[in-house]
Every structure is written in C-alpha cells, then in structure tokens.
Structure 1
Amino acid sequence: MRPTSPHARNPLPPAVSSSLRQRFGARFSQGESILAQHGRDESIHPTAAPDGVVFVESTQEVVEVAQLCRQHRVPMIAFGSGSSVEGQVLATAGGITISLGRMNRILATRAADLDATVEAGVTRLQLNAALKGSGLFFPIDPGADASLGGMAATRASGTNAVRYGTMRDNVLGLTAVLADGRILRCGGRARKSAAGYDLTRLLIGSEGTLAIITELTLRLQPLPEAMSAAVCAFSSVAGAVDTVIETIQAGIPVARVELLDRLTLAAVNRYSGTALKELPTLFFEFHGSPAAVTEQAEAVQAIAGDHGGEDFSWATHAEERTRLWQARHHAYFACLQLRPGHRAFPTDVCVPISRLAECIGETSDDIARVSIPVALFGHVGDGNFHLVVLVDPANGQDLQEADWINERVVERALAMAGTCSGEHGIGLGKTRFMLREHGAEAMAVMRAIKDALDPDHLLNPGKMLPPA
C-alpha cells in the first residue's frame, strides 16, 4: 500500500518564518497556492505541502536557509520542477521547501572540452536551446522538461540511455550544500580520476537526502552527422522484445529503442493525432554518419523481420522525427486520458537484457488479471520498462490491484537480478523494496552515510531509506 511518513509533523517555529521573511521578502511564501504547488508531483501520493517555500537564487542563499533550518531542526526539501513520480518532493514531515527554479543560469559552456557548468534549476531543454549552433547537445532525455539538478538527484535517464548512459555517466562534478550549510565541491572537469572516494556518484541518485545539489558540470556530446528514426509494429510484445535483445546482442549502436504496447499505442494515437498501427510497436533512432545510419537501420529491419515486424517505416526528416518522439514523450499523459479524472500509479523496473522478454511476458499475464487499465512502455534497449496503472484514488479495489501489480513486477525483477527502479527512483513509493534488493549490510552502510552527512535527518526525511 502507499506509505505514510513515520516522521512527526511539527509546527514551523515562528523564528524561522520571521527570519526567512526578513531575509528573502517576497521570495519566501506561505501562501496556500504556493504551498500546494510545492507539495505535489506526478505521483499517486497525496499532496503533502511544506510550511513555507523559499525561492533561492544562489548557492550562498541555500547555505543560509540550511543553516537556519539546522539551527531550529526544521526539515528541508529541495524542489526542481516537480516532475518526479515517486513522491520525492512531498513535504511529508512539513518544513521548508527550497525551490531551485530561479537558479537557472548557464555558467559556462566549453566546446573544446565538451562540457558545461550550470545551476541546478536549468532545465534540459533550456540547456539544449543554449547549445544550438555549437554542434553539441546534452543527451539525457527523460521526457519531462526536468531541472538538471533534479535529474541528477534522481539519477534520471530516458530514451537516449542505451547509447549515452544516464545522469550518473554524464555528470563530471557538482556543488552541493550539506545539512549544516557547508558547501561541498566534488568531481571536476577531468574525464577520469582515481583520487579518493567518488562523492559525485554518491550524491547522484540520493534524492536530496544527503545534500542539496546547486551546480553541475555536465558532459556534452557532439551532434550526430545524421539521424534517422523508424517505427515497426509487431503482432506480439514477445516479437518486439526479441528484436531488441538480438539488436543489442549484435552490437548495433542504436541511439534509442522504445517499446509501446497495444494499449499505449491506442492512447498515443488519440492524444497526439498519430495514425500508427495499434499493435505492440518499437520506435528506433539511429545516430552516426549517413552511411552508418543506413547500415544500422537496415540491420535492425532485417532482425525485426525475423521476429514478425511489419511495415518498418522510416522518418528521416527532422520534422517527422520530432513528431514521432514528441508522441512517445507524451505517452504518459496520453495514458491518463484512457480514464479521464483518474490518476496514474506509475512504476518501473529494470532487468538484465537476457531476461527482458520473460519479465515483460509474465508482467503482461499479470496485467490481464486486473480490472483496471495498465499501459506498458519503456526504454527496452537497456532492459527498463514502465507500467502506468490508472486508478481512482478513492476506490479501494483500484488501489489494491495497483499495489498488487506493482509488488508483482518488482518481485519478478529482483528475482531476475534486476532492480526495483530503473529510473523513477525510490522516494516514498519504493522504500519498502530497498532491503529486499540490497540486503541488511548494504542498508546499514546507507544509513551510516545518512547519519554522517545529515545526523538530524533534516534533508528530505522519509524518502529513500525505510524506517530502521
């Protein structure tokens, strides 16, 4: 079932609100609409508003807020764009939300070194717009126009991960503020280092529970000389997944490969105005030289044909590719329209590529056993897929079925040496799976790290780690 926070919610000390109002003026708010906006995300979890929101504009301002909150033992929650889906930004213990959206400056781009330094509130679309004309781009693409600080905090990935990796692979260094207000600078601009503990990777994916990320130095990629996209429908999900597995095992360097099941395709057609066959479908994208792109696509087309692929359709013009990938990125919102007025209960898992067909096949059998709509799609090139379970939050049976299928898919992934979340993160929704996945010793180490960096448990309490 959906968890509740074990942390008590204490009133905000008047000294804190008074100090923040005096220091930040209108950039500190306790207005109901602002609190509500910062107490929800895209998850199924109930709104949990903070007691106040501070709109910071620099690392030093984050330091000041952290020092004040530490002095009065007030929880702190970092907030980017609010696009998380596991309750990461919900203020379940109250406290102060530190909104980083105004920290949106691109501090430096260095084309010769293929890197850029940005503040945490810069979004991925903002960065790529600024890079136009440079011959470079930032490849991590989770769909939503998320803030880059939030993407690092949740270790985001997305459609390009099969070729370009995740945020873990594309953050060279960062600046973060610890719970007591100390500034931590880790990593750098060198492409590799063997110097000391890797604190950068420790903070990536920590969901604001260890520190608040304020600046990032990111790896950029050269824009490919040529790009081509393709769509291929299959009579079965198994045929589509087997195509992906054989493609990856053959070493064909696809940039993106996405699976949409029949229900998702129907939703996408209605939402985006596309006219794709309403069958299990793969979306591909190929990057490289014109000759390499053609060679990759032809090889994949042949593999797809062996597995029942139909009508391998090309999209070589930029406008066609953009329309295709916009439709894919809107799949989540398209699925919401399958049951208007209801909410999405999203979940995701990731398994070794050799177990993907089995995992999706057994999950499809589970989907057939519930009465609520469940859409399946995902970044199958790296073994990651998503379920969007549509529920009425007031309907107990809906929530029971959603919990059941979530539990089933996670148990299956863990049994296959996979993970309870390939990219959504842990937040509130998946804390109960952490012990099962990592074991008691690993959990003890994680708790020791938390205690060392945040001894009062003020940073995003109730997230990531289950109660001891």
Structure 2
Amino acid sequence: MNAPTHALDLLPPRTAPAELLAALQAHFGDRFSAARAMRELHGRDESPYEVPPPDAVVFCDSTEDVAFAVAQCARFKVPVIPYGAGSSLEGHLLAVEGGVSLDLSRMNRVVAVQAEDLTVTVQPGVLRSQLNREIKDQGLFFPIDPGADASLGGMTATRASGTNAVRYGTMRENVLALTVVTARGEIVHTGTRAKKSSAGYDLTRLMVGSEGTLGVITEITLKLHPLPESVAAAICFFPDVGAAVNTTIALIQLGVPIARCELLDANAVRAVNHHDHLGLREAPMLLMEFHGSPAGVQEQAATVQELALEHGGESFQWATTPEERTKLWTARHHAYFSALQMKPGCRAITTDTCVPISRLAEAVTVAADEAQASGLPFFIVGHVGDGNFHIAYLIDPALPAEAETAERLNQAVVHRAIAMQGTCTGEHGIGLHKQGFLIEETGEGAVALMRAVKQALDPDHILNPGKIFRR
C-alpha cells in the first residue's frame, strides 16, 4: 500500500457512541450505514490527504432529517460532516476528528422556480448541470460553473466561482437566501428573495463560504439569468502563457464584457487532446466565450481577435454551433482528470490563487518557470478573466520527495500571490491545506474574529471541525 501523500497532526477522534448510532439507525433505517466500504467512500475526496473514515454515514432526504441528525450528534458532542458530490480539493469533507457524514445527495429537488423574478430555490444536492437542464426551457440559466459537476450546496459552502465569474460573479453574488441547520439542530432562515436588504447582520453571506463549519445548508435561493440571445466561442494559441495572460489583461482593462476567458497551458492542452481526441495545437491557449446580441457578440469577438494578434496570438478559431462549443468546454472541464491520466497512479497537489489582474501575467509565468525547473509534471488552467489560476503538480504518492517538492512549489505560488495583495485561494477554499496561508493573508486578528464567530455558533465544535483553522 502506498504511503500517505500528506500526514496530518490529527486530534483524537470523537468516536460516535453506540447509543448515538442506534438512534440514527432507528430514524434513518436503510439510509444509515456503518459499513466500511460506505464509510471509506465518504472519507475521501480529491485532496492528497488520507485520514480514517467517519464512524457512520446517514443519507438525508429533508431539512428535518438534517436537523434530527445534528441534534443527536450535538447530544454526544460528535462531529457532523456535510457531504455533497465529493469533489473537494482541499479536504473539506474528511472526518479528521471522526464523527458522522451527512450525505445530502438525495436532497436533489428543485423546490421552486420563480421565473418572473429570476430566482430559484433548490435543495443542496442539486447538481449544477441538473439545475440548468430543468430551467433551460424557461429561457434561464445559472452561470456559476466551477468545472466539476458539483452540488449547489457544496458550491455555496465553498463560495465557488469558475469559468463565468468574469461576467456573472461568484456564489457570493448569486445566493440570495438560505435555510440552515445550526449546531444545536435548529432550523433557521437567512435572507429573502428580494434583491437587497438592510435588515440586520448579513447571515447569508456569513454562511456562504463557511465550509460547513457554521451550519449545514439545506435550501438555497439563487439568482438566475436569461439565456443570452447569441453565444460564440473561440480559441487562440500563443507563444507562451505570458502572452496569453497579457491579452486577457488588455481586454479586461478595455472593458470588453467577455463571458468566459480560460487559460490552458501546453501541458493541459496535451492532456485534453489525449483524453478527448481533439487534435488541438499543443501550445498555451485561451478558450473564450461571448454572450449578448448577435451584433454585440460580433463586436466583442472582433476586439478580442485584434488584441490577441497584437500579443502574438495565432490560429484564431471559432466554435459557433452548440455542439462545437460543448465539445470544447467539456474538454476544459475534463482537464483535471485528463492530466491525471498522463501519469498513471499519480495524485495531484493543486493550488489556486487570485491576484489583481495587473499582476496576473507575472504570477502565472513565474509559477510555470518554477514548476518546469523542478522536473515534476504539472499543468496550469485559469479563469484568467478574473485573475484566478490553478496549478497542479502530479506526484507519485509512494515518493515523499515528490510531495515535498510539490508543496514547496505550492507555497511559493501562494506566498507570491499574497505579496501581490491577492488571495491564497480564489475558489477552492481553505479546508485543511491552506490554514497557515489564511493567517498570512488576513492576519492573526482577523482569524481570531473568525474563531470567535465559530465559538459563538458552534461551541462544541461539532460542525466539520478542523477545517479553516484548528481548535
């Protein structure tokens, strides 16, 4: 068996007592499992950490189920860990102190579509793609697209963004209201369907991005957007990543309302070529999408094409049919898993940072040069329209030296982003991996305030403990 990629200094587990497990089994019936295979399934994500699985898994069908499970765990001060689609990259769903995994994937109903108000209310297990399929016939769509087909509950909990953020914002801007189960098992509602409010503390924004540490989200009201009248996508290749990013900087500074602007370095293009049989030129590439009226889309595209040529862009290619666009964006979404297949048996140590747009070319170029010099296989993708990029180092989990090299490179990328007045994570969240960076970015005083909020709302530290900061 391979040695763990990353070791954690774990606190002693708070093992679920037999009385608690019996109460959960009596309530949930066949939706309760203490089988090892099920526990292990819920004890892993896409992070490099290997920790013991939770003591049990319960599958919730309703807010009341969640409230019951949390209240029972609160009686015994046993942790509860919300589980959505399992796509976390930073260890968010790992049971680092033991406890019970709350699987919310069966809470997958679109509760209500208020088309005239451009809002929708969903349960947390609804997947991003599912929501867009269900509202497409009403001429609407939900734009937040983190790449993975994540659950909307998980996207809310981690304040996700993704490919459309440059035009449509992140989950922070698109969540209006929540239903949340507190650490005592109480059901509370935050926000309304109104577009704005000045009523008291903004509890909705407090919960968005809290990574399951302040409450369990069981219902979400989201903003929707009209489907654009016209959509066009284009790709363009560049001599290096710096030229591609400088093109992006120029179009953002000119105010071009581009909907998506994605960077793939040559390694990422090579991986998606192999996985999706695309035959793209293996060079740094921008994948762009334009939304609006036919005339507006044409104007945007002409401006971007001119800017790309000024920065050495070549082979500007259009994808105008839905099938062509879907093929390109599907390949982009496959980039992570495509790259893993380039080194069989590997694990990825990833980081995502976000910097002021004027510093992005420097941040990406230096990160690429450092990774190339290390000898580790790597790839870079980025939502470069909003200053966010991801770099992943592919390591052999049986070789600790590779993990150490990847972590050293990762630290350099993050330190540089913070020095540029950027952030250690544009969208992955803190989880387990970036707790030290959070202190570096915000300062001890700000983290102390976060700890005080956590202590007030969850004094027994049962809600996804060990994430964002240690006790």
Alignment TM class, shorter chain as reference: over 0.9
Which residue number corresponds to residue 58 of structure 1? 62
Alpha-carbon distance between aligned partners in 1 of 2:404 and 2:9, rounded to the nearest angstrom: 20
Q: State the aligned residue count.
A: 467
Please point out which of 61, 84, 91 is paired with 2:88.
84
Is the aligned partner of 1:297 residue 2:318?
Answer: no
SS in structure 1 opposite 2:425? coil
Please point out which of 435, 440, 448 is paired with 2:452.
448
SS in structure 1 opposite 2:349? strand
| Alpha-carbon shift at residue 378 of structure 1 (Å) | 0.8
Q: Show structure 2 runs of 5+ residues with no match.
A: none
Q: What is the RMSD of the two structures over their aligned residues, measured on CA atoms? A: 1.0
Alpha-carbon distance between aligned partners in 2 of 1:410 and 1:251, rounded to the nearest angstrom: 28
Which residue number corresponds to residue 186 of structure 1? 190
| Alpha-carbon shift at residue 2 of structure 1 (Å) | 3.8
Please point out which of 335, 347, 350 is paired with 1:343.
347
Aligned AA (2:185): G
Kept in 1: contact 2:236–2:315 (CA 8 A): yes
SS in structure 2 opposite 1:131? helix
Please point out which of 296, 315, 320 is paired with 2:319.
315
**Deviation sequence 1:123-152 (CA, Å, 0-9, x none):** 111111111210000111111111100100
| Alpha-carbon shift at residue 368 of structure 1 (Å) | 2.0
Map 1:144-183 to 2 at 5 A. Answer: 144-183=148-187
Which residue number corresponds to residue 284 of structure 1? 288
Please point out which of 55, 69, 91 is paired with 2:73.
69
Q: Are residues 431 and 2 of structure 1, via their aligned partners in 2, closer, same or farther at CA, if it must alter by over 3 Å?
A: farther
Aligned AA (1:384): N
Alpha-carbon distance between aligned partners in 1 of 2:191 and 2:9, rounded to the nearest angstrom: 33
Is the aligned partner of 1:250 residue 2:254?
Answer: yes
| Alpha-carbon shift at residue 103 of structure 1 (Å) | 0.7
Which residue number corresponds to residue 327 of structure 1? 331
Q: Are residues 3 and 195 of structure 1, via their aligned partners in 2, closer, same or farther at CA, if it must alter by over 3 Å?
A: farther
Give the TM-score of the pair, scaled to structure 2: 0.98
SS in structure 2 opposite 1:133? helix
Please point out which of 358, 377, 381 is paired with 1:354.
358
Map 1:425-464 to 2 at 5 A. Answer: 425-464=429-468
Aligned AA (1:304): A
Aligned AA (1:251): G
Map 1:364-383 to 2 at 5 A. Answer: 364-383=368-387
Alpha-carbon distance between aligned partners in 2 of 1:209 and 1:419, rounded to the nearest angstrom: 21
Aligned AA (1:223): L
Please point out which of 420, 437, 440 is paired with 1:416.
420
| Alpha-carbon shift at residue 3 of structure 1 (Å) | 5.5
Alpha-carbon distance between aligned partners in 1 of 2:332 and 2:149, rounded to the nearest angstrom: 14
Kept in 1: contact 2:7–2:50 (CA 8 A): no
Alpha-carbon distance between aligned partners in 2 of 1:47 and 1:387, rounded to the nearest angstrom: 24
Kept in 2: contact 1:138–1:220 (CA 8 A): yes
Alpha-carbon distance between aligned partners in 2 of 1:463 and 1:178, rounded to the nearest angstrom: 17
* Aligned structure 1 segments of 4 or more residues deviating by more than 4 angstroms: none
| Alpha-carbon shift at residue 6 of structure 1 (Å) | 3.8
SS in structure 1 opposite 2:43? coil
**Deviation sequence 1:10-44 (CA, Å, 0-9, x none):** 33201011111111111110011110110011111
| Alpha-carbon shift at residue 275 of structure 1 (Å) | 1.1
| Alpha-carbon shift at residue 184 of structure 1 (Å) | 1.7
| Alpha-carbon shift at residue 435 of structure 1 (Å) | 0.7
Q: Are residues 124 and 71 of structure 1, via their aligned partners in 2, closer, same or farther at CA, if it must alter by over 3 Å?
A: same
Which residue number corresponds to residue 279 of structure 2? 275
Alpha-carbon distance between aligned partners in 2 of 1:359 and 1:345, rounded to the nearest angstrom: 18
**Deviation sequence 1:273-310 (CA, Å, 0-9, x none):** 10111001000000000000000000000000000000
Is the aligned partner of 1:237 residue 2:241?
Answer: yes
Alpha-carbon distance between aligned partners in 1 of 2:6 and 2:25, rounded to the nearest angstrom: 35
| Alpha-carbon shift at residue 5 of structure 1 (Å) | 4.9
Kept in 2: contact 1:52–1:97 (CA 8 A): yes
Is the aligned partner of 1:212 residue 2:216?
Answer: yes
| Alpha-carbon shift at residue 47 of structure 1 (Å) | 4.4
Kept in 2: contact 1:7–1:461 (CA 8 A): no
Kept in 2: contact 1:335–1:388 (CA 8 A): no
Give the TM-score of the pair, scaled to structure 1: 0.98
Please point out which of 142, 157, 169 is paired with 1:138.
142
| Alpha-carbon shift at residue 465 of structure 1 (Å) | 1.2
Alpha-carbon distance between aligned partners in 2 of 1:208 and 1:88, rounded to the nearest angstrom: 8
SS in structure 1 opposite 2:373? coil
Identity %: 55
SS in structure 2 opposite 1:144? coil
Map 1:98-109 to 2 at 5 A. Answer: 98-109=102-113
